[in-house]
């Protein structure tokens, strides 16, 4: 059993940067792909970014390409989301997720149902 806990959210102004982190506990961290999703008020949860393993290729949603970067440090059982040039439309609860397998296919890597373990979420609010 794997438990994930996000941190690093907060209230920032448009154009600012923020770094989210997610630390795993319980079962061994290594294994499947890890990802970030987000959900804004009145919206469905949407894919943000995914990474198969530390130092590997990444998959990033078109809406955040060039601004957000995902990375992971398996020695510290942690995955990160570096968010730059934040916009008001980035306001949402951000969720960390982990899959049971490694995905090198962009379609599978971006699907909600590909991930078995989820964190509680951390709020990111961007003011204009």
pLDDT in tens, 85-99: 999 999 999 999 999
Tokens in use for 116? 């078995």
User: Over the Cα atoms of the chain, what is R_g?
Assistant: 14
Q: What pLDDT is attached to residue 37?
A: 98
Tokens in use for 8? 């690093």
Q: What pLDDT is attached to residue 18?
A: 98
- Show Cβ contacts of residue 106 under 8 Å, excluding neighbours closer than 6 positions: 59
Q: What pLDDT is attached to residue 94?
A: 98
Q: What pLDDT is attached to residue 28?
A: 62
Q: Picking from 23-32, 34-43, 60-69, which range would have the lowest pLDDT averaged per residue?
A: 23-32
As a whole-number percent, the residues of the chain with pLDDT over 90 amount to 83
Q: How many CB atoms lie within 10 A of CB 87?
A: 14
**Of residues 61, 44, 54, the one with CA closest to residue 109:** 61
Q: How many CB atoms lie within 10 A of CB 126?
A: 20
Q: Picking from 33-37, 48-52, 98-102, 109-113, which range would have the lowest pLDDT averaged per residue?
A: 98-102
Strand pairing category for 92-98 and 117-118: antiparallel
Residue 74: pLDDT band with limits 50, 70, 90: confident
Contact, 33 vs 51, CB < 8 A? Answer: yes
Of residues 1 and 79, more confidently modeled: 79
**Mean pLDDT, the chain, whole residue set:** 93
Burial zone of 58 (CB within 10 Å; 0-12 exposed, 13-18 middle, 19+ buried): middle
């Amino acid at each position: 059993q794997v438990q994930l806990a996000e941190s690093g959210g907060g209230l920032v102004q448009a154009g600012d940067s923020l770094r989210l982190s997610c630390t795993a506990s319980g079962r061994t961290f290594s294994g499947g792909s890890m990802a970030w999703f987000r959900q804004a008020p009145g919206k469905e949860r949407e894919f943000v970014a995914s990474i198969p393993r530390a130092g590997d290729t990444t998959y990033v949603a078109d809406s955040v390409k060039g601004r957000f970067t995902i990375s992971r440090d398996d020695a510290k059982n942690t995955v990160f989301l570096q968010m730059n040039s934040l916009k008001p439309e980035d306001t949402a609860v951000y969720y960390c997720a982990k899959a049971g397998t490694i995905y090198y296919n962009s379609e599978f890597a971006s699907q909600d149902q590909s991930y078995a373990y989820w964190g509680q979420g951390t709020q990111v609010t961007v003011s204009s």
